Chain A
Amino acid sequence: MLSPEEIGLIDYLHGGFPLSERPYAEVGVALGMSEEAVIATLQSLLLRGDLTRFGPLFQIERAGGQFVLAALRSPQDRFQEVTTLVNALPEVAHNYRREHALNMWFVIGAESPQHAADAIARIEASTGLKVYAFPKEQEFFVELRLPLSAGAGTEGGAHGAV
């Protein structure tokens, strides 16, 4: 399980990572940790897979790109093969197995709607399966901060996270 220090660091680093010359040192000052401890803790969280990433989250739509949620129905006996084929595309940012007839749900991130459509066409060609695209038509809410420490509310810390 996570130590209280690790939980505090993850929670603090939800956003607002400093754009200063020594950002880890700055975070350390805020949390009462040394720069080395901040870096070492992040390294171990990433190595263990408690964090999937640490860095900027790009919203490529703002530059004309597109994220598209898409799904397909993979036969159970081909699931591993289809997973490999879908994941092989660098445009596939996330992929989840879900309990439904449409049992594979993935997100395509591409530099343009055309590029996204091409990626979907490539998946249909390589798997021989129909891909259902679910582009967002309206966004209501995106970000989420999960209450990492038990009993905490969903409101996170008050520092400059977006």
Chain B
Amino acid sequence: MALSDFDRKLIAATQGGLPLVPQPYAEIASRLAVTSEQVRERLAQMLDEGLIRRIGAVPNHYRLGFTANGMSVWDVDDAQVDRLGERVGALPGVSHCYRRPRYPGVWPYNLFAMLHGRNRAQVETQAEQLRELLGTACRSYEILYSTAILKKTGLRLAKAGQGAPAES
């Protein structure tokens, strides 16, 4: 699916957030010189298509007390990682669970799972559950704690007509 020019403008107009006015879609529509219905219908389609994951609030976990944010990384047997990854992703408190590439000699870990807690003890308890679940398929792991958010803006597409074209 390629982005239309309207899609690009709609993304650019909303990626920083929805206007905090009683009629936010009408406000966006007036900026884009379209109707509010066009904005709402396209956003609804984007939700159906999965181009929008959700429309809602993005909490700052640190400010809300979830100050322990550990990226747990695991060196898991390649033959078992996909089966086990599904089970790890289903554990409560785990988000962003992916298989990713290794860099031999630098980075041995192929399974990534974010762990969130109000303190490091909570994160470590979760990691212990993961280690038990992975069993002998796991050769080693680490938890990389974040100590500062350096940037958190979300997606920022270049404005329509700028940057690398998405359609060719």
Contacts and interface: CB of A to CB of B under 8 A. Distances in A.
Interface of A: 2, 9-10, 13-17, 19-25, 35, 39, 42-43, 45-46, 48-60, 62-65, 69, 83, 86-87, 90-100, 102, 104-106, 109-112, 114-115, 118, 132-144, 146, 148, 153-154, 161-162
B166 A64 contact: yes
Nearest to A115: B164
Contacts of B144: 98-100, 102, 105
Given A56-B18, A138-B98, A154-B92, A99 B145 contact: yes
Contacts of B99: 136-138, 140
A84 to B, nearest CB: 9
Given A50-B64, A136-B98, A141 B89 contact: yes
26 contacts: A21-B23, A21-B26, A22-B23, A24-B24, A39-B21, A49-B63, A51-B58, A53-B16, A53-B58, A57-B53, A58-B11, A59-B52, A62-B49, A63-B3, A64-B3, A93-B154, A94-B153, A95-B149, A96-B146, A100-B142, A104-B150, A142-B96, A143-B95, A144-B95, A146-B61, A146-B66
Given A83-B150, A132-B107, A142 B95 contact: yes
B17 interface: yes
B88 A140 contact: yes
Main secondary structure of the interface of B (DSSP, over half): mixed
A45 to B, nearest CB: 8
Interface residues of B, number: 83
A56 B14 CA distance: 7
Interface string B4-43: 0001000100111110111111100000000010001001
The A contact surface, by secondary structure, is mixed
Given A56-B14, A100-B144, A154-B92, A87 B150 contact: yes
A59 B50 contact: yes
Contact of B43 (A56, A65, A137): A56
Contacts of A65: 166
Contacts of A143: 53-54, 95
A11 B150 CA distance: 25
B79 interface: no
Nearest to B63: A50
A98 B146 contact: yes
Interface of B: 1-3, 7, 11, 14-18, 20-26, 36, 40, 43-44, 46-47, 49-61, 63-64, 66, 69, 71, 82, 85-86, 88-90, 92-101, 103, 106-107, 112, 114, 116, 142, 144-158, 163-166
Nearest to B167: A64
A87 B151 contact: yes
B164 A15 contact: no
A65 B72 CA distance: 26
Contacts of B60: 49-52
Given A10-B59, A141-B90, A62 B1 contact: yes
